[in-house]
């Protein structure tokens, strides 16, 4: 297996299953997004996948996977693995899940393919719950690889079409197989000492290099403020307090609307996980950045948030 950092090299929680199927079929089933979606649905969870690099039904290096329900969702990035190696897929936790790792291996034997799922890092209870979910995943892998469970596509999707990816034009291009997309996107206007925080996108390719106020999609049964707290924790690793709305509602296309909020930085050091750069921008520098089309209508409101006269009546936000 891929060598883990020293602090994580402890005995992991592990589940194994022998599958009477060729190793190639097992590996395909393990990587299929539909396999993961079916396992999540069976456990009563929601799975979302961001595929920034290619349209595909298979997970690959750099993809983001978010799984859970309500506010208890965990965000992982798919790590690169050596072709032909024992590791079929490895997920590394990011944001609040930093330090957690999942590794799934497959090896051919005389009796079939031996699949092993391992959970490293994180609180003990979370590791146990994750392992239980992976045991369900191995069961779905068995059905798919042996042909007894049809394809690895979610049961709710049309067998003639790929697993859908519902675009989120503000955050990552999350797709939620078998669920309806929520159409509100929230953005955080984080002001510090006369500057506002901007984050540079890396994907999808047509948006790479453009700047935005960080945030993301509001999940079902989640308030807009709770969604923004969660998104900034996942994207930047910081805790924030959400304040007043900034500007009106903006129609950003594809049925989505953007709501921006002033946010107060409480704790943590901003560190990009789904962006490649962060920048603190003064009012006279706002126009210098190439903003996402969805964020461009915010520009005059960002200037107002940075203008001391316009900011009267608001609390001064400074770095902790």
CB 24 within 8 A of CB 44: no
pLDDT for 122-168, tens place per residue? 888 888 888 888 888 888 888 888 876 544 433 333 333 333 333 33
Q: How much of the chain is helix, strand and coil, in % rounded to 5?
A: 25, 35, 40
Helices (H), the chain: 23-31, 33-42, 124-145, 224-236, 299-306
For the chain, the distance separating the N- and C-terminal CA atoms, rounded to the nearest angstrom, is: 40
For residue 26, pLDDT beyond 80: yes
| Rounded Cα–Cα distance for residues 292 and 212 (Å) | 6
The answer to whether the bond into 204 is cis (omega within 30° of 0) is yes
Report pTM.
0.49
pLDDT for 267-296, tens place per residue? 888 988 888 999 999 998 988 898 988 888
Domain 6-145 has CATH 3.20.20.80: no
Q: What is the pLDDT of residue 52?
A: 56
**pLDDT mean over 246-272:** 88
Q: What is the pLDDT of residue 189?
A: 96
Q: How many CB atoms lie within 10 A of CB 284?
A: 9
Most confident listed range (71-75, 80-84, 101-105, 136-140): 101-105
| Rounded Cα–Cα distance for residues 265 and 190 (Å) | 7
* Residue 93 tokens, joined: 């936790």
* Ramachandran category for residue 317: left, alpha or beta (phi over 0 → left; psi -120 to 50 → alpha): beta
- Fold of domain 181-306: Nucleoside Triphosphate Pyrophosphohydrolase (3.90.79)
Q: What is the pLDDT of residue 162?
A: 33
* Residue spans per domain, the chain: 6-145, 181-306
């Amino acid at each position: 297996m891929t060598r883990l950092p020293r602090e994580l090299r402890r005995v992991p929680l592990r589940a194994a299953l022998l599958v009477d199927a060729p190793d190639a079929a097992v590996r395909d089933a393990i990587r299929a997004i539909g396999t993961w979606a079916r396992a999540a649905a069976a456990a009563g969870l929601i799975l979302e996948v961001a595929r920034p690099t290619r349209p595909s039904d298979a997970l690959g290096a750099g993809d983001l996977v978010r799984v859970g329900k309500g506010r208890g969702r965990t965000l992982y990035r798919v790590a690169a693995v050596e072709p032909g190696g024992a590791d079929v897929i490895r997920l590394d936790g990011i944001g609040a899940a930093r330090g957690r790792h999942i590794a799934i291996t497959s090896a051919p034997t005389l009796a079939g393919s031996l699949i092993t799922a391992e959970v490293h890092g994180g609180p003990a209870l979370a590791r146990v719950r994750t392992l239980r979910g992976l045991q369900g995943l191995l069961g779905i892998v068995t059905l798919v690889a042996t042909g007894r469970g049809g394809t690895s596509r979610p049961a709710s999707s049309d067998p003639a079409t790929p697993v859908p990816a519902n675009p989120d034009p503000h955050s990552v291009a999350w797709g939620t197989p078998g669920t309806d997309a929520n159409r509100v996107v929230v953005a955080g206007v984080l002001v510090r000492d006369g500057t506002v925080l901007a984050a540079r996108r890396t994907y999808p390719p047509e948006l790479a290099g453009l700047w935005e106020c960080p945030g993301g999609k509001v999940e079902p049964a989640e308030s807009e403020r709770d969604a923004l707290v969660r998104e900034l924790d996942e994207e930047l690793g910081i805790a924030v307090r959400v304040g007043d709305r900034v500007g009106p509602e903006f129609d950003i296309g594809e049925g989505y609307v953007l709501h921006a909020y002033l946010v107060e930085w409480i704790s943590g050091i901003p560190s990009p996980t789904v962006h490649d750069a962060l920048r603190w921008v003064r009012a006279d520098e706002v126009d210098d950045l190439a903003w996402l089309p969805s964020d461009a209508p915010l520009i005059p409101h960002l200037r107002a948030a940075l203008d001391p006269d316009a900011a009267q009546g608001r609390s001064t936000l400074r770095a902790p």
